[in-house]
Amino acid sequence: MILTVTLNTALDITYRVPALRPHASHRVSEVLERPGGKGLNVARVLAALGHEVTATGFTGGTTGRVVRELLTADGGVIDALVPLAGTTRRTIAVVDDLTGDTTQLNEPGPLVTPAEWSAFQQTYDRLLASADAVALCGSLPPGVPVGAYAGLVRAARAAGVPVLLDTSGEPLRRAVAARPDLIKPNADELAELTGSHEPLRATRDARRRGARTVVASLGAEGLLAHTPEGRWRAIPPARLRGNPTGAGDAAVAGLLSGLVEGLPWPDRLARAVALSAASVPAPVAGEFDRGTYEELLGRVAVTGEADAA
């Protein structure tokens, strides 16, 4: 079982408009609602790939009930979300059909009390006992300690469960020191962590800070991986038009699935890049176009080399 953690879950609402213009009224052509937050997006992609996946984190209020109902209706993801008194946030994506661009509006999360945080930690420890890998994804809601991910990384390592971390800012900086097995920052997050805007140098520095493996997301330029086994670069064969909001989460799902299946790094990276690209034409985050994924998978260019034993 793969465990995903989304402490700041959301109800993702996507509006499509013919053309987005500032200071104007718009007629919405389509509205879509899905369970959201980075870890839930990862979980849904993993389930679509055929993996057993459990999702935990927080939900609350009317919005939280909708998130749980949609998650159950999708099928394939086991709901282990922890209730809280506050109301789950909403995220609004406005897709401009004319340009293909997406404008994102993210609400803050609800306040998590000390008792609710303690209840989550108990659930997390219980789920680790049957997990093959765990992904810690996204922002921290108000009330959760800034060092929360560091503690969750240490708990996973103590349980012998490989842990992937996908967050940013101070939570990332603190958690890297707890030695996660893999971090997946984008270029800006990596530069903020290390102070370097040169990706190869920055990945080396992030490993020195404690991450066992660093896979940097370079947007349309693919992924750069610096691992104990070697260094690789994976580049998609083409740019696709659509909504890139969930592309990074699809890449995380590809990396996790490759990990639990024991794939070599070049194959893991090719899968992650193909999934990321195939998520762009999908209507909402947490989904991917299977035909596009299968067509792209064999065309991802992976270069680099393994270190000598």
Catalytically active residues are 249
Residue 298 region by backbone torsions, left for phi larger than 0, else alpha for psi between -120 and 50, else beta? alpha
Task: Report yes or no: 76 and 24 within 8 Å, Cβ to Cβ.
Answer: no
> Percent helix, strand, coil in the chain (nearest 5)?
40, 25, 35
Structure tokens at 179: 């030695």
Q: Concatenate the DSSP letters of all residues of 150-184 into one string.
A: HHHHHHHHHTT--EEEE--HHHHHHHHTT--SEE-
Distances from the Cα of 123 to the Cαs of 55, 233, 267, in angstroms?
A: 11, 37, 33
Report which of 229, 230, 238, 232 is spatially closest to residue 216, judged by C-alpha positions: 232
- With 0-12 CB in 10 A as exposed, 13-18 as middle and 19+ as buried, what is 210? middle
Distances from the Cα of 176 to the Cαs of 169, 198, 200, in angstroms?
A: 11, 19, 17
